[in-house]
Amino acid sequence: MENEGRVKGWIIAISVIIPVVVAVLIFMPSKIDLGVEWVYFLPHLNAVINSAATVALIMGLLFIKRGNIPLHRASMTVAFGLGSIFLISYVVYHAAADSTSFGGEGMIRSIYYFLLLTHIVLAAVALFPILFAYYYGYTDQREKHRKVVRFAYPIWLYVTVTGVIVYLMISPYYVH
């Protein structure tokens, strides 16, 4: 690939910049006033997007196991697109709204925080292998794609599934 070095540089830069921006937005002392209340709908939308991405990921796996590369590519492109939309929505929400505290007690609290912590850590590192897997698949570099997917796919699937579970667990505590 002629521009592969440049693409890899972009993938690395994006994989570092996005988690840093998300962390800054979540922990910044004052939120951006967008002057609208619609941002409080975004966590619900994000759960739907994550659910749809999970389905697309599972369908992509089923299609490739059956040797149907065109449908595999389509499913993975849908999952990638949904992930991109989710990321934009997530950034907008956390730029404008305070984080919600989990109100559960006892064992459920421990389960929630375990899922949340593993979700956050894996989401922060997931972008790197996902972008490489998508790039290698898109450019038909199948051997490299297969090697990266061994790590990218389970991480991506875990992040989408736990994103929905964490949402379902915290949604009763949303103020808006």
Distance CA 30, CA 119 (A): 25
- What ranges do the domains of the chain cover? 4-23+33-173
Could you read off the pLDDT tens digit of each residue along the chain, which spans 176 residues? 678 889 889 999 998 998 898 888 777 777 787 777 888 899 999 999 999 999 999 999 999 999 999 999 999 999 999 999 999 999 888 888 888 889 999 999 999 999 999 999 999 999 999 999 999 999 999 999 999 999 999 999 999 999 999 999 999 888 76
CATH 1.20.120.80, applies to 4-23+33-173: yes
- Tell which residue, 117, 101, 88, 119, has the closest CA to residue 21: 88
Query: For the whole prediction, is pTM greater than 0.75?
Result: yes
* Region label for 119, one of left (φ > 0), alpha (ψ between -120 and 50) or beta (otherwise): alpha
